[in-house]
Amino acid sequence: MKSYFLKSAITVLLLSGMVPHALALDNPKADELFKQLEDGQVNNVAEVEQTLDQIAQLLAKDDLDRQARLRRARCWSFDANDNANIDAAIDYAVNQAQAAENQAYPEALTDFRLCHGWYSQLKGNMEQAKADYDQALQQAYQLEDHRLIADARSLRGAMYSFQGNFAMALEDLLTAQQLYEKLKLDYWGLYNLADLATSFRRFGDPQSALNYYRQLEQAYRQSGHEEQAYIINGEMAIALEELGDFEGAVAKFQQSYDYLKQQGVTVEAAGVSVNMAGSLLKLGRVEDAKQALERARPFVTEQMGGFYSFMQLYSADVLLRQGQAEQAMAPLIKAEKSFRNINNDRGLAELYLLKSEVFAAQGLWQESLKVLRLYIALHHELDNKLQSYRTTEMRTRFNADRMAKENQRLLESERLKEQEVQILQQNRLLQLAVLVLASIIIIITAVMAFKQTSKSRKFQKIAHTDHLTQLANRRYTYHKGEAMFNQARDSGTPFSLVLFDADNFKDINDQFGHDGGDKVLQHLASLSQTLIREQDLLGRIGGEEFLLLLPETAHEECLKIAERLRQTIAESRPEGLVGEPRVTISAGVATLGEELQFSELLKQADDALYCAKKRGRNRVETA
């Protein structure tokens, strides 16, 4: 679960689209203070308040542009951890938006709408937040203000990600990332990259997310932002949890909690404690989980939808495990209401499963069955959405050219606006200097376009590839599998696939550590690559699991390939590990028959793989 409170009032303040305009009055000291806010150099609440007060003292009453800019900054400075302050911020945004509209300050009006949407989101009013973000984004495009576009897409993308709309989230976050990089807003680029990494985790690729988180943690520590580094440390813990490393997750959570508690950041520390309770429950440490929840309870309010809903869910789980099934219903009711308010279907699915167990523990079998059916229906719906998102996400993920052209157009428009302001302020005698400046801008634009093209190509290659094994990653493998399946079905040619994974991989990790496990996965990948044909595709689709796509391959030939793969791996030994342990695989084989969907064929292979595991491992089974 990704907390919306990771961006505290100070972090949100700097997400306002305050691009400096040419001002009639010369006030370099105030401009420098504004720049410190925008660049993230001021990064705690007390310093923000002090900086805003300093700016207010420096501004003349008739300095209308800077006064408007100061009011925009004020909107983002309300304490996001206090309900009364959130309500006050919403009222302030409404009043200031009306004033900005009357005074013809369209950039300020757009920023106040973003501010209103953010605080509405903190209140759990997701529909209002989305409406504000959509309207602000439309206005930002009309203004051709790419800082405001980046902020609106970043905020809306993070909300989409939390709600499970991964395709829309990635489109927003990728666009925002490119704009932040072009604007050289490194600090906010890192924040947006954190949301992008979290989207990959929620999409089902925690390993890629973990790699991004490690880069972010290092970047924050190098820049002296320790609090943000420990917040990212908490995100790494969630990724580890989804990879099944619950002990590692608890250790990471504990590090973040201890630091935030020591720094007096109680609300964020409480959120980490809620997340840690989930990992502790998966380890069966019920009493420790209960203590973690009790530490968080005084600070997590109903308005904190994400943390509150999971705190109630985990509380119900603790009561059930302690034999108090009847008492578990009260927190379940609160959790269900909160999940519905924030449109979190992923959390709601977890709740239905636990609620079914609670009813069953009370002997209420009909109610248990009814809720279990709700869980199955919702889980099936989420699976279908995820399958649909894979195709959309791939199209979004690799549509870098379209986004690059759109962003380039915004940059060129912004430069033209800056030139217009400069020309109005220049004497006619400076026309020659303006022409020279225009020539320089054209050269800069060409250089930036070249750099962006190179970066987009590199980004596309990274998006296809699994970081550890250098094989195709899950999204690309599924994308190619869908295409091969559809072609084979339409043309009547054979198509088969082999789903395999390493046997007893957890034991390998336990014996040799995660580095040893990584070497085994790299060994499997490199050896398997030498055994496949040019038209085949081998991809790593998660953990120790691999998928081999075999176009124009009938069932008998597929079985031979799978058996040869199994035997070759069984006879090999991974290098670099003490004792050179024997590694084996189990494989499931499936061939296109009457199936209408690629997912159905993949399910057959998965069932065959399960059968191979059940029958003793180190074998090949067919669907």
pLDDT digits (tens, 9 = 90+) for 597-606: 999 999 999 9
Q: How far is CA 275 from CA 308, 316, 383, in A?
A: 11, 15, 24
Cα 159 from Cα 368, distance rounded (Å): 32
DSSP-based three-state secondary structure for 241: helix
- Distance between CA atoms of residues 212 and 201, nearest Å: 10
> Residue 229 corresponds to which tokens in the numbers above?
């580094």
For residue range 389-433, what is the model confidence (pLDDT) as tens digits? 444 444 444 444 444 445 555 555 555 566 565 655 566 667 767
Using only the alpha carbons of the chain, give its radius of gyration: 27
User: What are 185's two structure tokens?
Assistant: 């807003």
Would you say residue 586 has pLDDT above 90? Answer: yes
CA dist., res. 300 & res. 293, Å (int): 10
Q: Among all chains, which residue has been given the structure tokens 């806010």?
A: 37
Residue 332 has pLDDT above 50, yes or no: yes
pLDDT for position 527 = 92
CA distance 216 to 222: 10
Rounded to the nearest integer, the mean pLDDT of the chain is 83
Q: Which pLDDT tens digit goes with each residue over 283-297?
A: 999 999 999 999 999
Statement: residue 563 has pLDDT above 90? yes
CATH of domain 474-622: 3.30.70.270
Average pLDDT over residues 433-447: 81
511 C-beta neighbours (distance < 10 Å), count = 14
**Which of 109-113, 251-255, 452-456, 513-517 shows the lowest per-residue confidence on average (mean pLDDT)?**
452-456
Q: Specify the pLDDT at position 235.
A: 85
User: Any idea where the domains of the chain sit in the sequence?
Assistant: 204-300, 400-463, 474-622
Band (pLDDT 50/70/90 cuts) for residue 149 is very high
What integer pLDDT is reported at residue 214 of this predicted model?
86
Name the active-site residue from 217, 544, 556, 595. Answer: 544
Per-residue three-class SS string for 149-178? HHHHHHHHHHHHHHHCCHHHHHHHHHHHHH
DSSP 430: G
Least confident among 355-359, 417-421, 542-546? 417-421
Tell me the pLDDT band of 37, cut-offs 50, 70 and 90: confident
Selection from 131-135, 429-433, 460-464 with the highest mean pLDDT: 131-135
List the one residue out of 228, 222, 163, 190 whose CA is nearest residue 6. 228
Is pLDDT larger for residue 433 or for residue 337? 337
Query: What architecture is the 204-300 domain classified under in CATH?
Result: Alpha Horseshoe (1.25)
The reported pLDDT for the residue numbered 268 is 86
Task: Give the pLDDT confidence score for residue 42 in this predicted structure.
Answer: 75
For 80-104, the pLDDT digits (tens) are 877 888 999 999 999 998 988 888 7
What number of other Cβ atoms are within 10 A of residue 352's Cβ? Answer: 23
Output the CA angle 132-134-137, nearest 5 degrees: 105
Determine whether 544 is an active site residue.
yes
* pLDDT exceeds 50 at position 612: yes
- Beta strands of 397-474 (E only): which ranges? none
Query: Mean pLDDT over residues 150-168, rounded?
Result: 86
576: which 2 tokens? 């670099």
Task: Please state the rounded mean pLDDT for residues 441-467.
Answer: 80
**What pLDDT, on the 0 to 100 scale, is given for residue 5?**
34
Residue 100, token pair as written in the block: 């900005």
Pick 186 or 391 by higher pLDDT: 186
- Nearest CA to 161 out of 196, 136, 189 is that of 196
Angle formed by the axes of helices 126-143 and 106-122, to 10°? 160
**Sheet arrangement for strand 495-502:** 537-542, 545-551, 495-502, 585-591, 620-622
pLDDT over 90 for what percent of the chain?
A: 36
For the segment 258-286, what is each residue's pLDDT rounded down to a tens digit? 988 898 888 888 989 999 998 998 899 99
Q: What is the pLDDT of residues 522-537, one digit of tens each?
A: 999 999 999 999 999 9
Tell whether the model's pLDDT for residue 223 goes beyond 90: no
Residue environment code for 601-617, b if the CB has 16+ CB neighbours within 10 A, otherwise e: bbebbbebbeebbeeee
Classify each residue of 275-284 as buried b or exposed e, where b means 16 or more C-beta atoms within 10 Å of its C-beta. Answer: bbbbbbbeee
